[in-house]
Structure 1
Amino acid sequence: MVAVTEDRRAEEKNLDYFWDRLNVAQKFSVSELQRFGYELAFVRRSPSFSMAVLKSGERLAAVDQDGQIDTAPSIALRN
């Protein structure tokens, strides 16, 4: 039996895909960051954790499940 692994990075996701995965507090904070030129890049979720990551050029911002904004997150992105 051969295990098949899927590389989700290759899939093109539209904004609605990630927007629908945000809670109300995150949506408010993401909307505020978008006013400053940030764009929603992706959302990471687990049963006990959710984080939205936004990009503006080379700058990153993160929004946790409580809607708290971190404009200097310690995030390593894969290429």
Structure 2
Amino acid sequence: MEALLEREVLLERRQYTPEEASLWDRLSLAQKFAASSMTQFGYDLSFIRNSHSGSLAILQCNDKTATINGEGEVNSTPSITIRP
């Protein structure tokens, strides 16, 4: 029974909403690889912040935040504030 419940959770996590799919489409190839790795640790792509220096992918896992720059570099302790 527990294995079935775990399987349902995994299947649910693989299903993306159209909004999430749109976010993934806006990532660079390097960001996609890095973000895919982060999802294995429970992170979800929340939004993308665009600036003069490029795009910054913001991922969240419970109360933790991570960022991925355009080159695919992950910062697991970014100095950004996320509004509720």
Q: Please indicate, yes or no, whether the TM-score normalized by the shorter chain is above 0.5.
A: yes
Secondary structure at the residue paired with 1:75?
Answer: coil
Are 1:72 and 2:84 matched, yes or no? no
Q: Give the length in aligned residue pairs.
A: 67
TM-score (norm 2): 0.74
Percent identical residues? 39
Are 1:50 and 2:55 matched, yes or no? yes
TM-score (norm 1): 0.78
The alpha-carbon deviation at position 37 of structure 1 amounts to: 0.3
- Cα distance in 2 for partners of 1:50, 1:28 equals 15
Please state which structure has a larger fraction of its residues in helix. 2
- Of stretches 13-22 and 37-46 in structure 1, the one that deviates more from structure 2 is 13-22
- Cα distance in 2 for partners of 1:48, 1:56 equals 25
The alpha-carbon deviation at position 47 of structure 1 amounts to: 5.3
- Cα distance in 1 for partners of 2:68, 2:42 equals 15
- Structure 1 residues not aligned, in runs of 5+: 1-12
- Of stretches 38-47 and 27-36 in structure 1, the one that deviates more from structure 2 is 38-47
**RMSD of the alignment, in Å?**
1.4
- Structure 2 residues not aligned, in runs of 5+: 1-17
Runs (4+) of structure 1 moved beyond 3 Å?
none
- Cα distance in 2 for partners of 1:72, 1:27 equals 19
